Each structure stands twice: as C-alpha cells, then as structure tokens.
A and B are shown apart, each in its own frame.
Chain A
C-alpha cells in the first residue's frame, strides 16, 4: 500500500490493523462464503418443510442431512470464522501490539475450512454423528481441534503479550471463547464419539455440549465484539460497567447448566430439566447486565450500529424467551414444535449474526484502510437481512403455535396439522430467500472492498471517529 493511502486515515488505523489485514480478511471472507452456502442449504430445508418431495430423490439432501449441513455450515463455517476473525482483531487492538503468529492464523483458517468442508461431505454421504451442533463425522473431529488450536495461537499471544495488565470486558469474553472451545470440543468428542456413554446419557451430553457452544463460545465471541465496538461508536465509557464481571461469570458458570430445558418430559432423570429451569432464571442476570451495559447502543449511530442494536435487542429477548420456554407448562406447548427453530433463529441469526455483521462493518474499513465499496449495498443488506430475520422468526412462531395446539389435541391428524402450518412455512421459505439475497449483497460488497475493486481512501477518515489513544479509555 502506498504512503498516500496509509496517510489517508492517520487517526486510528495503525500497524496493528495493517499487519493483520490479510489473515483476518481471509477469516472474515471465509465466514461470508460459508454464510452464503448455509443460506442455500437453509432455503432447501425450508422448501422441504412444506414440499417434502423436494430433492427427496437425492440421497445427499434428505431433510435430515440438509438440516445437519445447514446447521454445520452456519455455526462452524460462518459464526466460527467471522467470530474468530473479529475476536482476534479485538485482542490485537486491546493488546496494543501487532498480532503475532499471523502465519498460524492463515494455516489454521485454511485447515479449519478444509476440515469443515470434509465434515460437510461426510454428513452428506451419511457419516453424521446425529448430535446437534456436533454433526460432523468422527474422523474429521481431531483435525478440527488441531486447526482451532493453530488458529487461536495468535489470540493467546496477543493476550499474554498485552501492554496493560488491566483487562476489559471484551478481552474476558474473547479469551474465554478462544480458550474454552477446544477443551469443550474434546470433552464432547470423548464422551460421544470415542468412548460413547450409554443410552440416554448421550442426549444429555449432547445437550450439554450444544448449550456450552452457545454459552462458552458463540455468545462470548459476539459479546467481545459488542463490548469493544460500543464505546467506540458512542464515545463514552460503558454505563454500569462495575456489573460487567458478574454478568460475565454468570454466563460462564451458569449458562452451561441450562441445556436440560430441551429434555423436559424426556427419558432422563428429573433433576436435569429442573436444574435447567433454575439455571435459566439465574442466567437472566447476565442478560440484564448486558442490556444495562450496552443500552447506549440504542441512541448511537454509525454504519454497523443498526445491526448491533438489532443484535443486542435480539440477544436480550432470546435470554428472556429461553427462560420462559424452560417452564414445564410452556414446554408442553412449545416442545418439538417450530418454536424451537424460531428461538434458534433468534439466537444464532438475530443476535449473534447481527452483532457479527455490525462488527464486520466496523472492522473491515479499518483493516483495509478504505471505505466500503458501496454504501447502497450496505443499506440493501441491512433492510433485507432485518426483514428476513423478522419474517422467518414470526413465521416459525406462528407455525409452532399452530403445531403445538394441534399436537396437544389427539383428534387433529397429521394431515390437518400439515395444512395448518403450510402457510407460515411458505412465508418462512420466502424469508430464507430474502436472507440469502441479503447475505450475497454483503459478500459482494466485502469482496469489492477487500480486493480493492471499489471504495475510496478519501472517504475512509470520515468512518473513523475515535483515535487510538481512546482505545483503552473507551473499552
């Protein structure tokens, strides 16, 4: 890059960003490609829900396999790549030194994506493990641990070599996510794939893993970004920040006990869902603290702020609805219905993905040192993705409510049930098409920005509001 370009944004972009540009853009770009792939798969599964014969002849895309492929591409492709890319960027910036071990990031990213690709092929040909969020075949799993460890070296080095002793909320969350996930993954692999526990202990262990993926990995990744970007866009320190450590430890210590909610009424010891109900009420405190800390976002403005605001509201709403769904009276209606995918859509898409989108819109201009290639593509993405998420969640809730009512009434046959949910499921399919279109807009904009096909360096300084010296104060 020429000096003229580097000087275009002297206020904030430093060597920390410029040196990490290639590896982090590779991570973020990989995430966006996986998001598009998972969007296609989500469309296939959505169509199959109201038109079961769609692709039924193709053994690679039975509904069960397509669902597992979609989930894996979304979580291990999109959320993992984007979350790690942003978390490494945050750790580098807050560490005050350029990231070290960047070659390992490149190797780790390529290895991780190769592993996920092999995992998806394995699922498609029938080697799935059948455990939610751990669908990739056993033979790929050790490779994923190795890739992740390689990827996270830069994060650990950035954290251990930080200039200031004090750590900020975004660092706790980023370190927790980066450090805990490999242990979590290895523990789950050990008891489910290598030395499988017996009978219904398997669904219990799988539930523990799936919940921990949320509480110890994905949610901390999103919160690391939220807690980092928020003070930058508001220009103020976080309100009620003294409570942030308590909110953090509540999520880490209590969040993992909430997974038993999905086993209410199931063939498991009653203490498992009972503990989940108690844990759900305790973990509400975490969501409250996040809401209090981040409430400044509601009045802020900026390119990615709209996404983050949406994500914050969805995150808190997700916590509240999960709590409600843990009650046995509500579970009797909602269990096994489309309410569950609606909640998953709210958590993984409405909350986490929207925060990641906001983080990407904030980070990419700083990494590339140039403005986004197209402002209209950003506006289009924002409008479409919000519309798609809201419609898909509402459609699934309406379908789930109809399904729950029909399942409780033994006189209603499955033919009647199918007729009742068909309308909302068609709306859900339309929403998935909108989401796919939205995310393709982001991918195009990202590729144009990252590959220097568009955008102007002159416009870049206008995007950067805070100086490097504010880094420590505002975080």
Chain B
C-alpha cells in the first residue's frame, strides 16, 4: 500500500458506513416511534412516570445499578425470563421511548428489574434492602440520614438495630426517588409487536 489519500478515504468510509448503517439506520427505524394509543382504554402506552420516579432513574444510573441488574425481558423461548416471573412478554423498543437514558444492562448478578413494580409493592422492604443490604446486596447507608425525632416519627423510618432512643434513620430525597422509580417499573401492557411469533402449523399437523 502506497497511496496515502486512498488509505485515509478508506478509513473514513469504514467509519462512516458503519455509523450510518447501525446508528443512523436504527435511528431512522425507531427514532420517531410514537406511543401506542389503546382505543379501549383511551390511553397511550407507555405512560410517563412521575417527576419523583424520573429523578429516581438518574439515581439508578449514577449509582451504577445496571452493572448488576438488567431491564430487558427476553422472549419466552430464549432464556428463562418468563419462567422466573420477570415478565409475561418480551421487552420491545416502545417500552423505552420515554426514558431519557434506558438502563437495559448487560449483567444479571441480581434479578431483572423490568417489572419490579409489578411484583414488589412494598416501599418499606426496598428501603430496608437499600439501607441494610443482605448477603447478596450492598447496603447504601449514604442514601439515609439519622436525625432526632421531631414530633411524630417518620412513617418511612427504617428499623436499625441498636438505634438510640429519640433518633430515627430516614431515607434521603435520593433514596425516595430511587424507590419511587423502582416501584414504577412495570411494562404490563401488551403491544401488538410484543406478541411472540407463533409459526403457522403445516396442513398435515393442523389436521392432527
């Protein structure tokens, strides 16, 4: 190879073609995807989450929760996601259109959280897990503050062994946002494109 300009052109083209094909191509296909309007319910899905939950997603992202948890359910015949109760259907692109920064994750050191809000209803249990942790989950005590009880004790106070009388440990605003976000995770609505593909039975099999 002697031709320098040709080398540069080739290099630039390689970058441009792959960027155009993969990034701009998928952007062209999915970038304008609209919510699905259900005539029966009179509602568009997916629905936007509350402001507190939206802030919670930022906490989820900046703590790096996605390094252990995924938020993507695979189709029923690929892995055991459905059998584990992580979701009745596979996740589709439309599920993520309102998310500023989707956290689909790449490791399952802990369970998938796509539909955590559908199976975990208890705010208290999540606060306890985040504060104390467990043998398999870290406890993030920096998300809580210990203070004097002023008047009535906070209903969100977590139980701490050996806590001094007149003191309580309560979740900070970040912890409340994170838990609101976790409880908002639910993709129960069935989009048309989320229905698994069922192969058409051959005539001979159909007769049986």
* Chain A contact residues, CB within 8 Å of chain B: 48-49, 52-53, 56-59, 62-65, 67-68, 126-128, 130, 132, 159-160, 165-167, 172, 175-176, 179-180, 183-184, 187, 191, 196-205, 208, 212, 216, 245, 249, 252-253, 256-257, 259-260, 262, 265-269, 272, 275, 328, 332, 335-337, 340-341, 403, 407-410, 414-415, 418
Contacts and interface: CB of A to CB of B under 8 A. Distances in A.
Given A64-B64, A180-B15, A201-B26, A265 B78 contact: yes
A109 B167 CA distance: 52
Interface in B92-108: 92-97, 99-108
Interface residues of B, number: 71
Sorted nearest first, the 10 A-B pairs with minimum C-beta distance are A64-B64, A56-B138, A126-B62, A410-B83, A256-B18, A336-B108, A64-B67, A199-B96, A265-B74, A267-B91
Given A187-B19, A212-B18, A175 B83 contact: no
Between B26, B30, B111, B133, the greatest number of chain A beta carbons within 10 A of the residue's beta carbon is seen for B26
B125 interface: no
* A interface majority secondary structure: helix
A414 B18 contact: no
A183 B70 CA distance: 30
Q: Give the dominant DSSP class at B's interface.
A: loop
B108 to A, nearest CB: 4
Interface string B52-87: 000000000111111110101011001110011100
Contacts of A410: 80, 83-85
A172 B10 CA distance: 11
B21 interface: yes
B33 A128 contact: no
Interface stretch (B115-123, B139-147, B150-158): B139-147
B102 A340 contact: no
B202 interface: no
A7 to B, nearest CB: 36
A415 B104 contact: no
B108 A337 contact: yes
B27 interface: yes
Nearest to B62: A126
A269 B80 contact: no
A208 B22 contact: yes
A53 B131 CA distance: 11
B92 A267 contact: yes
B93 A268 contact: yes
Contacts of A67: 64, 67
B71 to A, nearest CB: 9
B1 A57 contact: no
